[in-house]
Amino acid sequence: MNLLKRIFGLGLPCLFHSLTGLYCPGCGGTRAVRSLLRGDLRMSFQYHPLVLYAVLILFLELILWAVKGRKIPFEHKKRARILILAGAAIVAANWIFKNYMLVIKGIDLLPVMR
């Protein structure tokens, strides 16, 4: 347990955040994964919603793969593009919202994990 705590307890400071005081598009990702592994879905979403989105999409894609067999249908490429664009939109919206809350409202949505 101590080894796992040491591995998952490590976090590198964000260079973008250190230099600008603003969050980068990926800020909160590691904490989101750690919260998800602890079963705290709400905090995982608050830290970075892309993590839950990625887990959900992976789960749904595995179900589709199992149901349709191992063939990759043509519509998969179109669906993949849509899913990637949706993920990029989540990252952009999250980045804008968290920096807006930090700079304009003075609310830090990325508290340090305990």
Within a domain: residue 13? yes
Contact (Cβ atoms closer than 8 angstroms) between residue 27 and residue 17: yes
Within a domain: residue 110? no
Rounded CA separation 55/33 (Å): 10
Within a domain: residue 112? no
Count of the separate structural domains present in the chain: 1
The predicted pLDDT at position 1 comes to 47
Within a domain: residue 56? yes
Within a domain: residue 10? yes
Of 39, 35, 26, 23, which is closest to residue 108 (Cα–Cα)? 23
Q: Which domain holds residue 8?
A: 2-105
Over residues 89-112, the mean pLDDT reads: 93
pLDDT surpassing 90 at residue 87: yes
Within a domain: residue 113? no
Within a domain: residue 92? yes
pLDDT class for 13, splitting at 50, 70, 90?
A: confident
Over residues 66-88, the mean pLDDT reads: 80
Rounded CA separation 82/84 (Å): 5
**Percent of the chain residues topping a pLDDT of 70:** 82
Within a domain: residue 59? yes
> What confidence tens digit (pLDDT) does each residue in 38-76 have?
999 999 999 999 999 999 999 988 888 788 766 666 677
Here the tokens at position 90 are: 């989540």
What is the pTM (predicted TM-score) of this model? Answer: 0.80
Rounded CA separation 65/60 (Å): 9
